[in-house]
Amino acid sequence: MASSERKKGIGAAARVTALASSVMDLHIRIALQEMDREKRRLISGGIFLATGGILMLLALVGSELFLGFWIMDLLEIGIKSTILILVFINLVLAGMSLRIGGYLAKGPYLPETLEGITKTTKAVLGKN
């Protein structure tokens, strides 16, 4: 190999490395911006969800008491049987909620990052 051919090969490798480095810097910058924006959104959402959860818990306790007294009067049963019925109802509802929640909570995706990776991949491969 001649000296000029080696320099061309090294120059091409340097350009590819610089391109890859630039692409990675771009993706890291976008990911950090998304993370910062998502962090604020998640903290605000968490505060509102906690407030709503506490209020819903208080409403649930009140409705459980009302439902318990209603079941006792309707079926003319004791307090132990009423509590057992309420526990069973709560277990069924909790199981359904956990199942649905687990399905809905599968992995967050950052759309801007996915879009950026797709564009970069197409640009590197030379596709439009």
Of 114 and 93, the structure prediction assigns the larger pLDDT to 93
Side-chain half-sphere of 28: how many Cα atoms within 13 Å?
6
**Domain boundaries of the chain, sorted by first residue:** 3-125
CA distance 10 to 4: 10
CA distance 24 to 107: 23
Q: In degrees, to the nearest 5, what angle opens at C-alpha 30 toward C-alphas 33 and 103?
A: 80
Q: What is the pLDDT of residue 41?
A: 75
Which residue in this structure is represented by tokens 């490395």?
Answer: 17
Tokens of 30: 């976008």
Tell me the pLDDT tens digit for each residue of 17-68.
Answer: 777 777 787 878 887 777 777 777 778 888 998 999 999 999 989 999 999 9
Of 9 and 112, the structure prediction assigns the larger pLDDT to 112
Do 27 and 113 form a contact (C-beta atoms < 8 A)? yes
Q: What is the pLDDT of residue 92?
A: 94
Q: Is the pLDDT of residue 14 over 80?
A: no
Q: Is the pLDDT of residue 126 over 60?
A: yes
Tell me the percentage of the chain whose pLDDT exceeds 70: 78
List C-alpha distances in Å: 22 to 4, 13, 26.
27, 14, 6
Closest listed residue to residue 114, CA positions, set 58, 34, 47 = 34
Q: In degrees, to the nearest 5, what angle opens at C-alpha 71 toward C-alphas 69 and 72?
A: 65
